[in-house]
Amino acid sequence: MKLPPFKLERYFARYEFTAKYLLSSSDCESMTIQELLALEDGSSERFFEQWLGYTESPGSPLLRQEISRIYETISPDQVLVHSGAEEAIFLFMQAVLEPGDHLIVHWPCYQSLFEIAQSIGCQVSRWEAREDHHWELDLDELGKLIKPNTRVIVINTPHNPTGYLMSKADYQAVHQLAESRGILLFSDEVYRESEYLPDDRLSAACDLGNQGISLGVMSKTYGLAGLRIGWIATKNGDIYQKIARLKDYTTICNSAPSEFLATLALRHRAKLADRSLGLIKVNLKILEVFFLRYQELFSWQRPKAGPIAFPRLIGENVERFCDRLVNTAGVLLLPGSVYGHPGNHFRIGFGRKNLPDSLSRLESFLQR
Ligand SMILES: Cc1ncc(COP(=O)(O)O)c(C=O)c1O
């Protein structure tokens, strides 16, 4: 198996720890271990007592129990913990796909959601989100993309990079279509619980039936990317077992301190999600004023969920613009070309505390 470079991650590798103003991050503001431990009395003592031997391969029972509470109908033994969502994507694709299988992917998207399938020798069709349709997906198009050998449909809503949130009706329709054709629905839900209106939240795919696989993570809405804890939740025991068997070849089990901290964090997940959402909403207001002021330079569509959006730059080539911006002003945006997207878009992130500062640096750059 040969995998080409992960363009987004390589772009971040160049700048993420050198650029001073990160204005394209998809994770929300994080915190220290001390701040996390402060959520619960006695937790510091318990953390110091954490045993550092191997942990249970599927994830500690306590952690799986907390994760299962995110869902309506999932039990702890239907949760498989991984090192981040990234490992879960990798192992899911390896576990279910054979060369010659067909996969449909919500596009543009996080590269691993299609690249791993391609490297296995699968055919990949893009189910394309278009700016002139408010980044919405067309169900008729999905119907036409399905082939006899379609094994998986991949969706990501709330969506990276556009912030698009599928309607409940469309989501049900996608699930029904997948189920009626015996296709697996791999639902990347890493931005779930960051909907601006709580009523807009979609059911998790794993709660809808046996064909649904939900992907979750501590990194985004909960702001704890450094824990590297992600998971898959599914009622499909066969798929679960196949993935579990492959995990023996990647990480075997998860980091014990991370599992402890993730368990603690999930006991307070509403508080953590509120904290992120509060920041997102304040930053979004600032961004809206900014984009109104610079409407001749940017085309902006307000997302419905999550800490990222995908505006279009009008005029200059977006790669050149992002390079000039990071090299002269230290502000990091992410050109849409890292998604292989041909439009002149860039990803902007607004889940961090220093957004006002980063944005004012961008503004000074524009006024130069
Ligand atoms: C849609 C999507 N899926 C999966 C991931 C991987 O998450 P993690 O880096 O926490 O493993 C990301 C990270 O940016 C993402 O945006």
Asked if pLDDT for residue 1 goes beyond 80, the answer is: no
| CA distances from residue 267 to 33, 36, 60, 311, 339 in whole angstroms, order as listed | 15, 11, 14, 35, 35
CA 162 to chain centre: 11
Asked if pLDDT for residue 155 goes beyond 90, the answer is: yes
Rounded to whole angstroms, the Cα distance separating 94 from 246 reads: 8
364 SS3 class: helix
Of residues 262, 211, 207, the one with CA closest to residue 64 = 262
pLDDT score, position 61? 98
Rounded to whole angstroms, the Cα distance separating 266 from 271 reads: 9
Of residues 223, 195, 188, the one with CA closest to residue 86 = 188
Which pLDDT band, with edges at 50, 70 and 90, does 150 fall under?
A: very high
Which pLDDT band, with edges at 50, 70 and 90, does 16 fall under?
A: confident
Give alpha helix (H) positions in the chain.
Answer: 7-15, 33-37, 43-48, 61-68, 84-96, 112-120, 139-145, 168-180, 205-208, 237-247, 256-267, 269-293, 318-329, 355-367
Q: Mean pLDDT, to the nearest integer, of 277-293?
A: 98
Asked if pLDDT for residue 63 goes beyond 90, the answer is: yes
- The closest residue, in CA terms, to atom 7 on ligand 1 is 85
Q: Mean pLDDT, to the nearest integer, of 219-246?
A: 98
Q: Mean pLDDT, to the nearest integer, of 45-56?
A: 98
Q: Which of 30, 115, 160 to mutate to test the pocket of ligand 1 (most atoms within 8 A of CB)?
A: 160
Asked if pLDDT for residue 67 goes beyond 80, the answer is: yes
Asked if pLDDT for residue 257 goes beyond 80, the answer is: yes
pLDDT score, position 148? 98
Asked if pLDDT for residue 368 goes beyond 90, the answer is: no
Which pLDDT band, with edges at 50, 70 and 90, does 357 fall under?
A: very high
Q: Mean pLDDT, to the nearest integer, of 94-102?
A: 98
**Closest ligand 1 atom to 113 CA:** 3
Which pLDDT band, with edges at 50, 70 and 90, does 144 fall under?
A: very high
**Closest ligand 1 atom to 85 CA:** 11
Rounded to whole angstroms, the Cα distance separating 321 from 368 reads: 13
What's the CA-to-centroid distance between 42 and ligand 1, angstroms?
32
Of residues 192, 210, 232, the one with CA closest to residue 89 = 232
pLDDT score, position 262? 98
Asked if pLDDT for residue 193 goes beyond 80, the answer is: yes
Cβ contact 129:108 at 8 Å: yes
| CA distances from residue 344 to 158, 160, 318, 325, 358 in whole angstroms, order as listed | 22, 16, 5, 15, 21
What percent of the chain is predicted at pLDDT more than 90? 99
Residue ranges around ligand 1 (CB below 6 Å): 26, 84-86, 110, 156, 160, 188, 190, 217, 219, 225, 230
Asked if pLDDT for residue 128 goes beyond 90, the answer is: yes
**Closest ligand 1 atom to 89 CA:** 4
Condensed to tens digits (0 to 9), the pLDDT of residues 170-188 reads 999 999 999 999 999 999 9
Asked if pLDDT for residue 224 goes beyond 90, the answer is: yes
Give the containing element (helix H, strand E) for 106.
strand 102-107
Rounded to whole angstroms, the Cα distance separating 198 from 87 reads: 29
Asked if pLDDT for residue 318 goes beyond 80, the answer is: yes
